[in-house]
Structure 1
Amino acid sequence: MSSLSSAPPWNVRRLPGAHGRVFLVTGGNAGIGYFVAEQLSATGATVVLGSRNPARAEAATASIRARVPGARVRAVRLDLADLSSLGTAVESLAVERLDAVVHNAGIALDDMPRKETGDGHELMFGTNHLGHFALTRWLMPLLSAAPAARVVTTGSFAAKSERLDLDDLQSRKDYRPGRAYGRSKLAQMYFGIELDRRLRAAGSTVASVVVHPGGALDSLTPSRPPVHVTTTGARLSAAPAALLVQGKHAGAWPAVRAVLDPAVDGGQLWGPRVFGLRGAPRREPVWNHLSDPSTAARLWDASCGLTGGDPAAVPG
């Protein structure tokens, strides 16, 4: 594992080149995912936006091309709430290998009632966690074909105060939207840590890294019309908050570093430098509850059963 002291200086505005590499960003059409895609496009890599909304994906690709001359960016239709569609989505990538996937897409609901995917899973758990869990299984042959691919899973600071209820992963007994969201992100983070452990045990060249964006507000985010527009009034009203949090362009930095920086190792957690809420990306200790192997193993087994496959069953 790389130590903090041995990591080379990292400049979020001067990224290393990545010509010839291929990256997939789920939910790359909006929010933090858009800025991950925009920043990775500036490295010369081919960046594929996974999005369930073709119109929004086209707007995002047009915005990136306008800001990054010569950007190699395109989109594929990807609906993480529909597990049966993921194989077709991966085929549509039409690539021989994948150097990294950033698991960024997500749904956050703040109202009742509880909703489900077409597969019968609670919508946030089913999309945010199970969708990425299943997608990774389909992507693993492409990731294994790259020399040192990375799976970068975007968690959330909201998961730090949550704990999983392994007997009610689908929030059927006591559904609270905010808690269900936090737990879905916590499940993702458990997945990212446990995936790396299992890949190492299997002798895989693929590494899994977990990141979180800290506090990332729309009102502190630079405009990218029509993808995102921040009004002057919104910027002014949010100015005091900038002492503690940041915009979504900065929230993208940990994921971008996890994709590009050779000093980043599998099994690590990266987030913003200042109180885990804002600033340049840095490695931070894996949260205590994320280090629980029993919970991770039980979640993994349940997820395999719910999705019908094991992402760590690496071919060859």
Structure 2
Amino acid sequence: MAWNVHKPPRADGTTVLVTGGNAGIGYFTAEQLAAAGATVIIGSRSPRKATAAVDAITARVPGSQVRHIPLDLADLDSLKASVSHLDTDALDAVVLNAGIALDAPPREQNHRGHELMFATNHLGHFALVHRLAPWLNAAPAARIVTMGSFAARSERLDLDDPQSVRDYDPKRAYGRSKLAQMTFAFELDRRLRASGSTCMSVIAHPGGALDALTPPRPGIHRRSGSRHLLSLPARLLVQGKDAGAWPAVRATLDPDVRGGQLWGPGRLGLSGKPHLETPQAHMTDRPTGAALWTASTHLSGQSTRVDPFAS
């Protein structure tokens, strides 16, 4: 059956956590999942922005079940408290969407000394997935959906300097942080299958998603009329963030999706309906995935003694 981006399968009775679901692609992912009937939990650093997102979704999707929890992925010490707010027995999916992309900043660190983009985009999600294991294992067949990026295609990980201590460039640091996310997601799928877990790890990316082509949402996004008109020719190649959410929604809800798959827009990987892609070899390289896992375990302070997803 053809996938209908405007009418995905019903998800009544399921619970999904969307990190960074208060803005951008994360917001539209949360909105579309709520419209399909899922109970959506928005993880956000900002209570004000999270409340605005909940209000926007409930106004647009009457009867939807949406709430939020505090979540600061740059602060690994806060994650235990964050997951204690889930207020659910099981998670059917988590969409690892939150992240930061700074335009041209100096190198910044969190209180642990981790470079901020690597810490937020990758390390925080790595640690969060381990924290969520009991809730994901409690679901019949949970999905861990990682939001990748086109920026990862041209980058390569430097595991001798994963946090860009020696040679920092903001654009490269961002691309490497997204590549780390995707490499982790492919490695996670291999480990889930090897352990016999019923969970699966799936990767999605939004293609080219512009604010100027994104429909307005009160309290979330205001679209400038002049910017929108100027950006209309770009619609031939790219799209709004509402459409950028489609691959993640399909990765979360499509019953035919399998672990280790990569879903992205069908038109040149930049826009259009989601389709199955072939990942680039550097994203799925097994030695790199294993080495990144080891480095991430050390940097995030996760235990190596117990596999939280082993059946």
Give the TM-score category using the shorter length: over 0.9
Q: What is the 5 A alignment of 1:67-106? A: 67-106=60-99
Q: Give, in angstroms, the shift of residue 112 of structure 1.
A: 3.0
Q: Which letter maps to 2:23?
A: A
Match of 2:309 in 1: 314
* Residue number among 101, 104, 107 corresponding to 1:108 in the alignment: 101
Q: Which letter maps to 1:168?
A: D
Question: Taking structure 2 as the reference length, what is the TM-score of the superposition?
Answer: 0.98
Q: Which letter maps to 1:130?
A: L
**2:224 & 2:105 partners in 1: Cα distance?**
30
**1:241 & 1:312 partners in 2: Cα distance?**
46
Match of 2:55 in 1: 62
Q: Which letter maps to 2:62?
A: P
**1:254 & 1:261 partners in 2: Cα distance?**
10
Contact in 1 for aligned 2:134/2:308 (Cα 8 Å): no
Range that drifts further, 203-212 or 112-121: 112-121
What do the CA deviations read for 1:122-173 (whole angstroms, capped 9, x no partner)? 0000010000000000001100100010000001001100001110000001
Contact in 1 for aligned 2:23/2:53 (Cα 8 Å): yes
Match of 1:290 in 2: 283
**2:14 & 2:270 partners in 1: Cα distance?**
30
**1:208 & 1:280 partners in 2: Cα distance?**
21
Contact in 2 for aligned 1:197/1:267 (Cα 8 Å): yes
- CA separation of 1:158/1:40 partners in 2, compared to 1, >3 Å: closer, same or farther? same
Q: What is the 5 A alignment of 1:196-207? A: 196-207=189-200
Q: What is the RMSD of the two structures over their aligned residues, measured on CA atoms?
A: 1.0
**2:176 & 2:272 partners in 1: Cα distance?**
25
**2:161 & 2:266 partners in 1: Cα distance?**
34
Q: Give, in angstroms, the shift of residue 312 of structure 1.
A: 4.8
* Residue number among 300, 303, 306 corresponding to 2:296 in the alignment: 303
Aligned with 2:105: secondary structure?
coil
Match of 1:272 in 2: 265
Q: Which letter maps to 1:38?
A: E
* Residue number among 148, 163, 169 corresponding to 1:170 in the alignment: 163
**2:178 & 2:292 partners in 1: Cα distance?**
13
**1:20 & 1:53 partners in 2: Cα distance?**
27
**1:197 & 1:261 partners in 2: Cα distance?**
20
Q: What is the 5 A alignment of 1:203-218? A: 203-218=196-211
Aligned with 2:51: secondary structure?
helix
Q: Give, in angstroms, the shift of residue 182 of structure 1.
A: 0.3
Match of 2:146 in 1: 153
**1:111 & 1:16 partners in 2: Cα distance?**
41
Aligned with 1:254: secondary structure?
helix
Q: Which letter maps to 1:297?
A: A
Match of 1:5 in 2: none
Match of 1:21 in 2: 14
Q: Which letter maps to 2:15?
A: V
Aligned with 1:271: secondary structure?
strand
Aligned with 1:185: secondary structure?
helix
Is 1:258 matched up with 2:261?
no
Q: Which letter maps to 1:234?
A: R
Contact in 2 for aligned 1:199/1:312 (Cα 8 Å): no
Q: What is the 5 A alignment of 1:113-132? A: 113-132=106-125
Range that drifts further, 290-299 or 200-209: 290-299
Aligned with 2:80: secondary structure?
helix
Q: Which letter maps to 1:114?
A: R
- Gap regions ≥5 residues in structure 2: none
What do the CA deviations read for 1:189-217 (whole angstroms, capped 9, x no partner)? 00111000001000000000011000000
* Residue number among 207, 210, 227 corresponding to 2:220 in the alignment: 227
Q: What count of residue pairs does the alignment treat as equivalent?
A: 309
**1:16 & 1:312 partners in 2: Cα distance?**
32
Contact in 2 for aligned 1:23/1:48 (Cα 8 Å): yes
Aligned with 2:266: secondary structure?
strand
Contact in 1 for aligned 2:197/2:310 (Cα 8 Å): no
Match of 1:32 in 2: 25
Q: Give, in angstroms, the shift of residue 291 of structure 1.
A: 2.1
Contact in 1 for aligned 2:16/2:94 (Cα 8 Å): yes
Q: Give, in angstroms, the shift of residue 315 of structure 1.
A: 5.4
**1:208 & 1:315 partners in 2: Cα distance?**
14
**2:168 & 2:64 partners in 1: Cα distance?**
43
**1:236 & 1:150 partners in 2: Cα distance?**
38
Aligned with 2:117: secondary structure?
helix
Contact in 2 for aligned 1:23/1:47 (Cα 8 Å): yes
**2:161 & 2:307 partners in 1: Cα distance?**
24
